[in-house]
Structure 1
Amino acid sequence: MTQIPGMIGVPADGDAPLDTRPAIRLELDRKTRARAAIAGSAGNLIEWYDFYAYAYTALYFASAFFPEGDRTAQLLNVAAVYAAGFLIRPLGGWYFGRFADRRGRRAAMIASVLLMGAGSLLVAILPTYATIGAAAPALLLVARLMQGFSTGGQYGAAATYLSEIAEPGKRGFYASFQFVTLIGGQLFALLTIFLLQTAMTDAAIREWGWRIPFVLGAVLAGVFILFRDAMHETAEPAGKGEEAGSMKTLIQHPRAMLTVMALSAAGAVTLYTFTTYMQKYLVNTAGMDVATASRIMLVVTFAFLLLQPVLGMLSDRIGRRTNLLIFSGGMTLFAVPLLGAIGKVQTVWTAGLLIFAALAIMSFYTSVSGLFKAELFPASVRALGVGLGHAIASAIFGGTAEYAALLLKQMGHEQAFAWYVSAICAVAFVVALRMKEPRAHGHLH
């Protein structure tokens, strides 16, 4: 197999060797690359639709699995199961990252989407607490663990794939579609809930309609198999070699891992605060009804999606590091006043504008989230480094964000959560300030 300087995993002339792993010669035209990126992004969209369907239907099925207590207590129980899906993500990040580095990014993405669909199908057919008692929330936990394991692997494989398939000089634009489709998954989940609210009564949704989004997710996961032929592998599968996908190789890049974890922690806690938790915050704190909160989130999430390719292209000009400094610095300064103002909103327009302001700051991170991480690692451990580092930070800070916010509210210290978000972003700002520009000094050539 011919190796070409500047290809994936092969250093350009004059560079120090970055990776001993063979690279596939990617002589793909722009149309073929775009088609492959779309196919890979479709899998990412399905994955995240399934994952977020749980968050957006929680207000309807909480009483079916946790019948005792007030609304906040029920939501705390559902949030605990939601958090469990995050806590298993590092294991999924390790397993699928290793799989992707050894067997190929394409194979790992397909396997993780199918596992996610299986988890959604289980939720869709689960009996309620009234039917089988304590076994119902236990099985809900099993399904959520399946989904969390899958998501932990999908992130690293998708980030690596989209970064590697992209045209040099346009990686910011191509890689931004990881979050276009991640947000698209959220948006699709919100749209599904909106359509249910339009077509069904509130009582009917609580009784059985909440199952429909999960059935749809399982079906879409199966349909994804049709996209597999459009996806071109971007790195030579390395089999069971000692270097590829190994923790032994990964620990040789401690600075990259710590950078990924610190910035992922800030990204995760702010993303889940201003997206999935925000619907509950509008209902539980600002006093809005569920339908109004869903409509607000539907509109601002769509606007959030449109920002991703714009700021991804911007990063190709100003650098990933600049994007990350704007995000972390902005959130350090504005997380507290934004959350405080949103909790006291009086109109739908005000709520929408404030949430969009937060998401606009977030977009400087999300648009380059997978790309800058992929640029920090050599090809042999790229999927593992990205997937595991991101999953650990997301499990600790993203998965617990909603639970922490609800718990502090129950304790009467709701504003403390906003300061917590700001503090995590301040740490990320220091890390971004000290890092080298990954576009120029990274391993993705």
Structure 2
Amino acid sequence: MPTPRSSTTLVEDAPARQPNRVRAIMGACSGNLVEWYDFFIYAYTAIYFAASFFPKGDTTTQLLATAGVFAVGFFMRPLGGWIFGWLADTRGRKVSMIISVFMMCAGSLLIAVMPTYETVGIAAPIMLVVARLIQGLSVGAEYGTGATYISEIATPGRRCFYGSFQYFTIIAGQLLALFTVVILQQTLSDEQLREWGWRIPFFIGAISAVVVVYLRRSMHETASKKDMHREGAGSLRGMFKHKRAVGLVIAFTIGGSLYFYTFTTYMQKFLVISAGFDAATVSFIMTSALIGFMLCQPLFGLMADRLGIRTHMLMFSSLGVLLVIPLLFAIKHTHNPFMAFALVFGGLVIASLYTPIAGIVKAELFPPAVRALGVGFPYAIGNAAFGGTAEYVALSFRAEGAEDYFFFYVAAVLCVTFIASMLMPNLTRHGYISGDGRVEENTGMPASKVQTAKA
């Protein structure tokens, strides 16, 4: 029988006082903000530097190439989730999170200083790929360890509220990246942005590491020595003893990540190349929508603490399946910026049913000895396969003259998430943090239906 939550963390061994808990959440979230700023600034400045690294072809071809490199960063996430999940489970969450920040900023600094295709030829796109590999490794580390840390240090009964600040800072990182681009658009000419202005945001991301490391030095460690030295801690073999949990994490991730990246990073390009808005107008549309989305996180987190994680997952996946196709069709055919904002924000409100609980639902599925690995590694696989390729798949459909097929693709993937949400157990009763840790023995189906299915 799985070990219940009695052995979880130092938060239970020696409860943190509220000021320490708040400071710890700030330390975790500050790094999250910087890492996601660094990761997303690539997507938002790609329209300016695409020709510098991929000079041949039309605009769509160049953007397709940069989207491919963006996707490459995602495919390093499983390796990052594996390595840093092992590190967090066997050496501590704090060590893992400090190293991940340094790696992200190293990738940003490399992009900021690297020469263009005109200067060094094919070496330029190769170096761009290397930088994205480093950043992908870092993000693969950050999500799993950060989600684990926040879930462990959060107050019982308020875990979804605390967990909401992980995506709050992910969105804040996107907003900061977007806001930086808006400022540059207002202060530099289009020519200056394409020649050298796009480098400025990457320098900002690299410099910000110093502040984050300082904040994370004072964080409380939540992994107990007992759990870090437990047999199988941080190992893939130990993680795969929890097969249902691994399957649920992947199923939740593929729908949640694909939907999230469709309405955030890809939406920036979709509004330009499909709806026909100019880049500056799109930046203001997305900035406004993302501000509203960010403010939704703690509100929907509080709601999830009252309604339950399973209810939220069912609402997100069912509404996503039903509404994503009409929403994307409507956005594509609108020429009114206010209507575009309303439609994008409506899509993001649906995402708000998932994003505040995304880390908590995964952390509840695993015991502490493999929690960071169990959250980070399966998530990274699903995120790489569907979230990281969202832009590339969408642009590929567009290049073939079948862009609308992408809308149906998103809905189909969300169907998988809906089925998984139906089958997940009640985590308040059976989760490893809030319940008795009997995730593998329970589903969301009534007992009578389970017996019928077995028969």
Task: Normalising by structure 2, report the TM-score.
Answer: 0.93
Distance 1:245 1:168 in 2: 25
Distance 1:275 1:239 in 2: 37
Distance 1:241 1:317, change over 3 A: closer
Specify the alignment match of 1:6 in structure 2: none
Q: Which structure 2 residue ranges, 5 or more long, are not aligned?
A: 435-455
Specify the alignment match of 2:448 in structure 1: none
Within 5 Å, which residues of 2 pair with 1:12-161?
17-18=3-4, 23-24=9-10, 25-161=13-149
Residue pair 1:176, 1:368 contacting (<8 A) in 2 also: yes
Deviation string 1:225-246 (CA, Å, 9 cap, x unpaired) is 1102331111124566542101
Distance 2:50 2:25 in 1: 37
Deviation at 1:333, TM superposition (A): 0.5
Specify the alignment match of 1:443 in structure 2: 432
| Aligned partner (choices 150, 161, 167) of residue 173 of structure 1 | 161
Deviation at 1:162, TM superposition (A): 0.5
Q: Does 1:281 align with 2:267?
A: no
SS in 2 for 1:377: coil
| Aligned partner (choices 395, 400, 416) of residue 389 of structure 2 | 400
Distance 1:366 1:182 in 2: 10
Task: Normalising by structure 1, report the TM-score.
Answer: 0.95
Distance 1:434 1:322 in 2: 12
Residue pair 1:117, 1:218 contacting (<8 A) in 2 also: yes
Distance 2:389 2:60 in 1: 16
Distance 1:247 1:306 in 2: 37
Residue pair 1:117, 1:222 contacting (<8 A) in 2 also: no
SS in 1 for 2:128: helix
Distance 1:41 1:327 in 2: 24
Q: Does 1:308 align with 2:294?
A: no
Q: Does 1:191 align with 2:175?
A: no
Specify the alignment match of 2:344 in structure 1: 355
Distance 2:229 2:77 in 1: 23
Distance 1:425 1:228 in 2: 36
Residue pair 2:37, 2:174 contacting (<8 A) in 1 also: yes
Residue pair 2:89, 2:234 contacting (<8 A) in 1 also: yes
Specify the alignment match of 1:272 in structure 2: 261
Specify the alignment match of 1:11 in structure 2: none
Aligned residues: 431
Specify the alignment match of 2:440 in structure 1: none
Matched AA of 2:376: G
| Aligned partner (choices 328, 331, 353) of residue 320 of structure 2 | 331
Specify the alignment match of 1:433 in structure 2: 422
Q: Does 1:217 align with 2:208?
A: no
Distance 1:394 1:89 in 2: 8
| Aligned partner (choices 214, 231, 243) of residue 226 of structure 1 | 214
SS in 2 for 1:86: helix
Deviation at 1:26, TM superposition (A): 2.8
Distance 1:333 1:243, change over 3 A: same
Deviation string 1:268-319 (CA, Å, 9 cap, x unpaired) is 1011110000010000001111111111101100100000111111111110
Residue pair 1:109, 1:154 contacting (<8 A) in 2 also: yes
Residue pair 2:8, 2:433 contacting (<8 A) in 1 also: no
User: For the aligned residues, what is the CA RMSD?
Assistant: 1.3
Residue pair 1:21, 1:380 contacting (<8 A) in 2 also: no
Distance 1:236 1:435 in 2: 28
Specify the alignment match of 2:170 in structure 1: 182
Distance 1:23 1:359, change over 3 A: closer
Identical pairs, percent: 50
Matched AA of 2:400: M
Residue pair 2:101, 2:213 contacting (<8 A) in 1 also: no
Deviation at 1:30, TM superposition (A): 1.4
Specify the alignment match of 2:380 in structure 1: 391
Distance 1:143 1:196 in 2: 23
